[in-house]
Chain A
Amino acid sequence: MRGLMKKLVGLTALSSVLFLTACGGGGNEESSGAEGGKVSADVGVVSFLTGSGAAYGEAIQGGLKLAQEEINAKGDVKINLIFEDSAGKQDQALTAAQKLINSDNVTAIIGPTLSTEMNVVGPEADLSGVPIIGTSTTAEGIPQIGDYVFRNSIPEALAIPASMQQAIDKYDVKKVAILYGNDDVFTKSGYDTMKKTAEEMGLEVLTTETFQKGQSDYNAQLTKIKNLNPDLILASALYNEGAVIMDQARKMGIDVPFVGGNGFNSPEVINIAGESSNGLIVATPWYSEKEDEKVQEFVTKFEEEHGHVPDQFAAQAYDALYILADALKNAGSSDRDAVRDALAKTKDFEGILGNFSFDEEGDVLMDPTVLVIEGEKFVEFK
């Protein structure tokens, strides 16, 4: 059965490759290259469009399409998007990328959605000399894959120190307590970042307490923390556990602020913990209520089309296409190497995420927005 499926998939892939090469031949000449100062280019998108993570793919697709409309309407650059589904699987992501690189002759690729997918697609694109931009890949080491690999999604290792720094400056923090989920890779790596940052900042770590997923009673750990009187609590937790922790902490009379990682950054925290959630500080790459014309325009347009406020996946995809369009314009052609060089030079790009630059490795250089919950609402931390 498995063997048969594989053969079938292989056959379908092969036939679609043949089909697309056949019709790609004619279309390519007119769609690529500069024509009278106007650059037009094919951009491939590998995204998680079907399966368990389809919501991510949908958000990314929505953000990209909106950006594409606006860019093409402006007229400096004409971008044609070719979407491919990865279904969140490494092998399918690789097949999709190979098709885009070899038969569609795309200038650049946006995606794939997951870091695990990027780990196989990135080297392939790098080898073929196709610039690739991850918009949602936050794992360590992604831009280090090669010269052609970029990302505009901020890794946790950058987000947590940013929120810690601001909290420490404001509340004059000297002593902290750390609380983290020790049975989850994500919260564990968040803890590692917190611990490292606390050491670098010279904070005194009073105690490090752990908990497990699905636990409902945190009173023992919190009572211990309460009696040590920290100025700040660093909590690397997913929102489900995190919200309950805050609720029990506030009931106990712990009123110091909490700093959380990205997993803690969810409106669900407010739904679950209510007014106990006040005082949670998180860093986010995307803040939909920012008082900024561009941001509000994007939010309104996206909401009109999709019926809900765009999340960070939509926003990051939107900005990524603008960054790419910027690079295409500066390169003046749709030549892959020229576009890569122009991308690498991206500096102080003003997008909806904020002021954005690539570092020499193609990783993010950006100040994330730090938010705090006040009056049961996320507001900018000042």
Chain B
Amino acid sequence: MLIEQLINGLTLGSIYAIVALGFTLVFGVLGIINMAHGEIFMFGAFIGVMITSTLNAPLWVAFLGAIIITAIMGYLLERFALRPLRHKQGVSHLAPLISTIGVSILLENLSHHLFGAGNHPFRTSFAEISFQIGSITVYLVQIVIFVISIVLMLVLTFWLGKTRAGKALRATAENLETASLLGVDTKKTILMTVIIASAMGGIAGILVGMAFNSVTPQMGLSMGLKGLAIIILGGMGSVRGAMFGGLILGLAETFIVVYGDSGYRDAIAFLAIIIILLIRPQGLFGQKIST
């Protein structure tokens, strides 16, 4: 029972982590919270459902399709909702936040019209593959989700730390004007970041669809809020923070159900976050702001 629940918690936590990685990437560079991330994630899941169920295409096509479509959505988001607000006189620093909230509402309602309000099952033979270890059933999808979240974290850490593009990105995050003066194409860097974050959202969407066999237009909102809580817990802009924050929240939610009352699942998980933040206001892996 304990091991089964541990697997449940790790799966949920890994999904949270992948969603949170997308959040943290955009926050780390642009300093804004992309409230539309949850909805892009939801669209990724729907694209996966459409490609596998309606077109009967194999799973890798679904992944490819979801990545392409969510990347395009990321491009449009940056081009039309974020860029026009940058470096304009008199634009409040909250304006991009509000504009991403607008995009999220637009996307949620759009998906209501395109896909309907109901629940869509995600049917692939891949999601059915399982192993039996004793009385425990482990699904391959659960392992894949865990592995993908770890791989994404490692790749992101390496990319940000060691590659030229990653260094350019960090320079942009540090100071936009200076980076620009030093020859970094900041426009391109920002655009790339939003696109990569969105594509990661799309991947997460398909993984959730496969793991839980449930895709609805409302799934973006709750996932988005969880992702937001996680990056605050892990430290804003920190890749490791998003990873561990996600795992902590996923495990906490699962074990509250095991040892407590499922009615308090979210309440206690978020209470734990508040307590951690009281002790470490900068988050688990956040840097203390020094003057």
The interface of chain A, by Cβ under 8 A from chain B, is 182, 209-221, 223-224, 227, 240-241, 243-244, 247-248, 251-253, 268, 271-274
* Contact between A214 and B123, CB atoms less than 8 A apart: no
Digitize B1-29: 1 where CB-to-A-CB distance is under 8 Å, 0 elsewhere: 10011001101100000000000000000
Q: Does B257 sit within 8 A of A, measured CB to CB? A: yes
Query: B208 touches which one: A216, A220, A253, A268 (CB < 8 A)?
Result: A216
* Chain B residues, Cβ within 8 Å of A217: 8, 12, 211-212
Chain A residues closer than 8 Å to B120, beta-carbon distance: 272
**Contact between B212 and A211, CB atoms less than 8 A apart:** no
Some 22 contacts from A to B, beta carbons below 8 A apart, are: A182-B263, A210-B261, A210-B262, A213-B218, A214-B222, A216-B219, A219-B8, A220-B8, A220-B254, A220-B262, A221-B262, A224-B5, A224-B257, A240-B119, A243-B121, A244-B214, A247-B213, A247-B214, A248-B212, A253-B137, A268-B119, A272-B118
Is the C-beta of B34 less than 8 angstroms from some C-beta in chain A? no
Contacts of A223 in B (CB 8 A): 1, 4-5, 8, 258
Q: Which residues from chain B contact A219 at a C-beta distance below 8 Å? A: 8, 11-12, 212, 254
Docked pose: A230 CA to B166 CA in angstroms: 54
Complex Cα gap A268–B216 (Å): 14
Q: How many whole Å from B54's CB to the nearest CB in chain A?
A: 14
Q: CB distance A240 to B118 under 8 Å?
A: yes
Give the chain B neighbours of A253 by CB distance below 8 A: 137
Q: Mark B121-138, 1 if CB is under 8 A from A, else 0.
A: 101000000100000010
**Cα separation A212 to B221 with both chains bound (whole Å):** 13
Q: A214 touching B212 by the CB < 8 A rule?
A: no
Contacts of A213 in B (CB 8 A): 218
Least CB distance, B275 to chain A, in whole angstroms: 21
A241: which B residues are within 8 A, CB to CB? 119
Whether a CB of chain A sits under 8 angstroms from the CB of B78 is no
Consensus secondary structure, chain B interface: helix
Q: Which residue of B lies closest to A271 (CB)?
A: B121
Residues of A within 8 A of B8 (CB): 217, 219-220, 223
Q: Which residues of B contact A221 (CB under 8 A)?
A: 257, 262
Q: How far is the CA of A268 from the CA of B5 in the complex (A)?
A: 29
Contact A272 B258 (CB under 8 A): no
| Set of chain A residues within 8 Å of B215, measured between Cβ atoms | 216
Of B119, B222, B265, the residue contacting A243 (CB under 8 A) is B119
Do most interface residues of chain A lie in helix, strand or loop, or is the interface mixed? helix
* A251 in contact with B137 (CB, 8 Å): yes
In B208-242, the 8 Å CB interface with A consists of 208, 211-216, 218-219, 221-222
* B253 contacts chain A at the CB level, 8 A cutoff: yes
Q: Which of A216, A240, A273 contacts B212 (CB 8 A)?
A: A216
- Cβ A273 vs Cβ B121 within 8 A: yes
Given contact pairs A216-B214, A240-B216, enumerate 6 new A-B contacts (beta carbons under 8 Å): A214-B219, A216-B208, A217-B8, A221-B257, A243-B121, A272-B120
Q: Considering the complex, which residues of chain B in the window 259-279 have a beta carbon less than 8 Å from any beta carbon of chain A?
A: 261-263, 265-266
- Interface assignment of B115: CB less than 8 Å from any CB of chain A: no
How far, in whole Å, are A248 and B209 apart by their CA atoms in the complex?
12
Q: Which of B130, B216, B263 makes the CB contact (< 8 A) with A214?
A: B216
The interface centre, meaning the residue of A209, A224, A271 with most chain B CB atoms within 10 A of its CB, is A224
Of listed A211, A216, A241, residue having the most chain B CB within 10 A: A216
Beta-carbon nearest neighbor of A245 in chain B: B214
User: Does A274 lie within 8 Å of B123, measured CB to CB?
Assistant: yes
Shortest distance between the CB of B10 and any CB in chain A (Å): 11
Within the complex, what minimum Cβ distance (angstroms) separates B4 from chain A?
5
Bound form: Cα–Cα A218–B265 in Å = 12
Taking the complex as formed, is B75 at the interface, i.e. its CB lies under 8 A from any CB of chain A? no
Minimum CB–CB distance from A184 to chain B (whole Å) comes to 13
Q: Are B137 and A211 in contact (CB under 8 A)?
A: no
Docked-complex contact B262 and A211, CB < 8 angstroms = yes
CB nearest to B263 among chain A residues: A210
Per the bound structure, the CA–CA distance linking A252 and B211 in Å amounts to 12
Cβ of B166 to closest chain A Cβ, rounded Å = 33
A207 to nearest B CB, angstroms?
9
Q: What's the minimum C-beta distance from B137 to chain A, rounded to whole angstroms?
A: 6
A268 to B120, CA, bound (A): 10
A274 to B5, CA, bound (A): 25
Give complex CA distance A184, B11 in Å: 27
Q: Nearest Cβ in chain B — how far from A78, in angstroms?
A: 44
Given contacts A210-B263, A214-B219, A268-B118, contact A220 B257 (CB under 8 A): yes
Q: Name which residue of chain A comes closest to B250, CB basis.
A: A217
| Distance in angstroms between the alpha carbons of A212 and B219 in the assembled complex | 12
Question: Which residues in A have their C-beta under 8 angstroms from that of B214?
Answer: 216, 244, 247
Q: Looking at the complex, which one of A211, A214, A215, A220 makes contact with B5 (CB distance below 8 Å)? A: A220
Instruction: Evaluate contact between A227 and B1: CB separation under 8 angstroms.
Output: yes
When A182-B263, A209-B257, A219-B8 are in contact, do A244 and B222 touch as well, CB less than 8 Å? no
Which of A209, A217, A218, A252 has its CB near the most chain B CB atoms (within 10 A)?
A217
Chain A residue nearest to B255 (CB atoms) is A220
Distance A210 CA – B219 CA, assembled complex (angstroms): 18
B254 contacts across to A, CB distance below 8 A: 219-220
Q: Which A residues are CB-close (under 8 A) to B212?
A: 216-219, 244, 248
Tell me the smallest distance from the CB of B35 to a CB of chain A, in Å.
17
